[in-house]
């Protein structure tokens, strides 16, 4: 059977795996954003503890995927919950780091000007600091999303589904067509997501801050 015939025969199976993969990535990155952005804002107001928090989150990032999935498997059982829990932890660091750096590197001239016209601390945050740091935050989101798309392929090992199912089926049966059916869509998904988020990042960057190429 040729690869094109294989794709035709298993199209629905591959499509279902792709949609599950996207669902896992979307939920995991979404949870990462919900945790990382507010935490990054808090750390920008308490810089003395920022390096410690970032170091702890960084340690989580270094835990091998299979180890973290194994821990979550013990805590949450088989299926999507342990995969989403593990991937959400991995999603935090790039977004958290970029949020913190983006806010702390806002030019003080903008902040002083905002104070000069009577803006409160919250107004400065939401009308000056966050808008100016948003390109950096989106950059962290872009990096996180690409990472999670890749790491989500491991979720197939614990019954979470997704494109990892195709890859692990191929590895266990020595069938390269299954491996390619999972790996190629995952790679394309990562490229498309990176390009799309990159477009959004450029679109929201003030023209004066864009790097001319």
**Phi first, then psi: what are they for 119, rounded to 5°?**
-70, 145
Q: What are the pLDDT digits (tens) for 29-81?
A: 999 999 999 999 999 999 999 999 999 999 988 888 889 988 999 999 888 99
Write down the pLDDT at residue 1: 66
Write down the pLDDT at residue 17: 93
Q: How far is it, in rounded angstroms, from Cα 124 to Cα 212?
A: 28
Write down the pLDDT at residue 212: 42
Q: How far is it, in rounded angstroms, from Cα 84 to Cα 28?
A: 5
**How many CA atoms are closer than 13 Å to the CA of 122, on its beta-carbon side?**
0
What does pLDDT average to over the chain? 90
Write down the pLDDT at residue 213: 36
Q: What are the pLDDT digits (tens) for 139-164?
A: 999 999 999 999 999 888 888 889 99
Examine the pLDDT at 173 and tell me if it is beyond 60.
yes
CATH number of 3-209: 1.10.3720.10
Confidence of residue 208 (pLDDT cuts 50, 70, 90): low
* Residues contacting residue 16 through CB under 8 Å, at least 6 positions apart: none
Write down the pLDDT at residue 210: 56
Structure tokens at 102: 């983006």
Query: CA dihedral defined by 28, 29, 33, 34, rounded to 10 degrees?
Result: -30
């Amino acid at each position: 059977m040729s690869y094109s015939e294989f794709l035709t025969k298993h199209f629905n199976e591959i499509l279902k795996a792709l949609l599950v993969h996207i669902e896992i990535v979307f939920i995991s990155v979404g949870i990462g954003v919900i945790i990382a952005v507010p935490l990054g804002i808090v750390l920008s107001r308490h810089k003395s503890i920022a390096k410690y928090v970032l170091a702890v989150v960084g340690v989580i990032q270094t835990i091998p995927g299979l180890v973290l999935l194994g821990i979550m498997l013990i805590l949450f059982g088989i299926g999507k919950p342990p995969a989403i829990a593990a991937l959400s932890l991995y999603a935090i660091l790039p977004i958290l780091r970029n949020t913190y750096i983006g806010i702390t590197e806002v030019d003080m001239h903008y902040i002083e000007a905002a104070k000069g016209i009577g803006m409160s601390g919250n107004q400065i945050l939401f009308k000056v600091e966050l808008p100016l740091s948003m390109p950096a935050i989106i950059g962290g989101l872009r990096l996180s999303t690409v990472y999670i798309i890749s790491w989500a392929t491991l979720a197939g090992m614990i019954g979470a589904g997704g494109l990892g199912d195709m890859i692990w089926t191929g590895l266990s049966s020595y069938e390269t067509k299954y491996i390619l059916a999972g790996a190629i869509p995952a790679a394309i998904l990562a490229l498309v997501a990176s390009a799309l988020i990159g477009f959004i990042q450029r679109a929201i960057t003030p023209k004066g801050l864009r790097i001319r190429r």
